Amino acid sequence: MPQPLKLHPDRLFSSDLEIRAIARRLYAQVATLPIVSPHGHTDPEWWATDAPFGNATELLLHPDHYIFRMLYSQGVSLEDLGIGNPDADPRESWRLFASRYHLFRGTPSRMWLDWVFSQSFELDVLLSAETSDHYYDRITEALTTDAFRPRALFERYNIEVIATTESPLDDLRHHQAIRDSGWKGRVITAYRPDPVVDPEFEGFHHNLEILSDMTGEDCFSWPGYLAAHRKRRAFFAAMGATSTDHGHPTARTANLAPVEAEALFGRVAGGQASPEDAELFRAQMLTEMAGMSLEDGLVMQIHPGAFRNHNKQLFDKFGRDKGADIPTRTDYVQALRPLLGKYGNEARLSIILFTLDESVYARELAPLAGHYPCLKLGPAWWFHDSPEGMRRFRENVTETAGFYNTVGFNDDTRAFLSIPARHDVARRVDCNFLARLVAEHRMEEWEAADLAVDLAYNLVKAAYRL
């Protein structure tokens, strides 16, 4: 007999009767608020073409590195999951996943997936070896219906706005197609210049050539390169972007004299950059980008601290984003000082900081954001986008930075179907956190009710200028 699958209405709320009662009341206010998703990695082509998704494996397993990294850690090969292997039978790959579903106990993936299975596909038994084919068939069949086409899901999920992330080299054709289609869904882009800012990015030199062609600027000269950024930022803003995003290895910034910056760029563009040059150039570019944000109003997001592609064998065989990025210790206090020394007191500038190093929440990020007018703190990110991760974020950050130097929730995902589940987890965890403060008489319930709506909806709209 398969086990039943049912989502409990009190999930993620404390079992303490007082806290739970308050959490329920707070959550009732925010459960159905529209989803504002200001940062993520969904594919705009989905909404441009509105083509149906393929099968269960393609939709749910292949884009979700949280899933296949766990399976890989327990000895399942990526080839057998169909990663980089078009010959794999998707039904067999799904079975490998289904029969190991117990590995996900206690992980957020389990909660997100159960939500998708239950709420989107109306499955009422738990995923297992026994129910694998039932799942595969039900999901794959549903995907052939109009109700599961991308735009229909977008509307069903009550998404008010979603941001994708594109490189300056992207022509944004899909975003243009969405606009041209007359469909009302609000899908915007975000400016992620890493491929033309990071000298160590694959194809950096060639990327500068493309950028030159796209902009008519000489991107091998410092003024031309900066002008090209300004042009592309303006184009992105015209296509709805309200933010930029920077995924550097560290949070280092620099504030070089113009002549030094130009000389550094010369080495970088000429292909003679040392690793230290590359790091310094990325650092300088964060400050340049902050300056441009002051000009054009784009909100700046800094996402540092991932050691990308830690597993070289895997990278050589399968490429990026295969679950082998690992967080590293990250300094912000020294690292951000050059940028903050130049622009830190500008209240018109908005920089949202993220981290994968939770030890900096209370020690560095909350004190910085609780002082500098330009700084705000992004939510618990990536590996920390989880109930315990979010709880630690609130417990560590709130007492020094308050709630109003934070910016609501980001789902940051390419797993489209999990987006409502992720927002739901965040709303529940925040309501539960607020409920504890109320139950411990550290806040009045009417204040918590205000905050619940702010954390779920108002703060993100204000912070991202949406």
Of 19-48, binders to its own copies (CB under 8 A) are 19
For residues 450 and 443, give the distance between their C-alpha atoms in angstroms, rounded to a whole number: 11
Q: According to the binding rule CB under 8 A, does residue 254 interact with its own copies? A: no
Q: In terms of CB distance, is 196 or 426 closer to its own copies?
A: 426
Binder of its own copies out of 331, 453, 458, 462 (CB under 8 A): 331
Residue 159: partners with Cβ closer than 8 Å, 6 or more residues away = 34, 35, 37, 185, 186, 419
Q: Which structure tokens are listed for 20?
A: 């739970």
In angstroms, give the least distance from the CB of 338 to its own copies.
10
Distance, CA of 453 to chain centre: 21
Region of residue 305 (left: phi > 0; alpha: psi -120 to 50; beta: else): left
Considering only the stretches 166-174, 278-286, 318-326, 410-418, report the one whose residues sit in contact with its own copies under the rule CB under 8 A.
318-326
In angstroms, give the least distance from the CB of 424 to its own copies.
13
Q: In terms of CB distance, is 13 or 354 closer to its own copies?
A: 13
Q: According to the binding rule CB under 8 A, does residue 384 interact with its own copies? A: yes
Q: According to the binding rule CB under 8 A, does residue 284 interact with its own copies? A: no
Binder of its own copies out of 125, 231, 389, 461 (CB under 8 A): 389
Q: According to the binding rule CB under 8 A, does residue 353 interact with its own copies? A: no
Residue 141: partners with Cβ closer than 8 Å, 6 or more residues away = none
Q: According to the binding rule CB under 8 A, does residue 421 interact with its own copies? A: no
In angstroms, give the least distance from the CB of 109 to its own copies.
9
Q: In terms of CB distance, is 167 or 400 closer to its own copies?
A: 400
Q: In terms of CB distance, is 149 or 303 closer to its own copies?
A: 303
Binder of its own copies out of 29, 99, 119, 328 (CB under 8 A): 328
Q: According to the binding rule CB under 8 A, does residue 445 interact with its own copies? A: no
Residue by residue, DSSP assigns 84-101 as: T-TTS-HHHHHHHHHTTG
In this structure, are residues 12 and 387 in contact, taking their beta carbons and an 8 Å threshold? yes
In this structure, are residues 169 and 222 in contact, taking their beta carbons and an 8 Å threshold? no
From the list 383, 437, 424, 435, the residue with the least C-alpha distance to 11 is 424
In angstroms, give the least distance from the CB of 422 to its own copies.
13
Count of residues of this chain found to bind its own copies when the rule CB under 8 A is applied: 91
Q: In terms of CB distance, is 11 or 465 closer to its own copies?
A: 11
Binder of its own copies out of 49, 107, 221, 250 (CB under 8 A): 107
Amino acid letter at 460?
V
Q: According to the binding rule CB under 8 A, does residue 395 interact with its own copies? A: yes
Q: In terms of CB distance, is 241 or 360 closer to its own copies?
A: 360
**Burial class for 169, CB neighbours closer than 10 Å (0-12, 13-18, 19+):** middle
Binder of its own copies out of 186, 337, 414, 461 (CB under 8 A): 337
Q: According to the binding rule CB under 8 A, does residue 249 interact with its own copies? A: no
Helix (H) or strand (E) holding 376: strand 375-377
Binder of its own copies out of 226, 437, 449, 463 (CB under 8 A): 437
For residues 211 and 299, give the distance between their C-alpha atoms in angstroms, rounded to a whole number: 22
From the list 399, 420, 423, 395, the residue with the least C-alpha distance to 409 is 423
How close are the terminal C-alpha atoms of the chain, in Å? 49
In angstroms, give the least distance from the CB of 465 to its own copies.
15
Q: According to the binding rule CB under 8 A, does residue 14 interact with its own copies? A: yes
For residues 86 and 98, give the distance between their C-alpha atoms in angstroms, rounded to a whole number: 20
Amino acid letter at 209?
E
Site string for its own copies, 64-103 (x = CB under 8 A): -----xx-xxxx--------------------------xx
CB atoms within 10 A of CB 399: 11
In angstroms, give the least distance from the CB of 128 to its own copies.
11
Q: According to the binding rule CB under 8 A, does residue 11 interact with its own copies? A: yes
Residue 364: partners with Cβ closer than 8 Å, 6 or more residues away = 331, 332, 333
Q: According to the binding rule CB under 8 A, does residue 315 interact with its own copies? A: no
Q: According to the binding rule CB under 8 A, does residue 262 interact with its own copies? A: no
Q: According to the binding rule CB under 8 A, does residue 439 interact with its own copies? A: yes
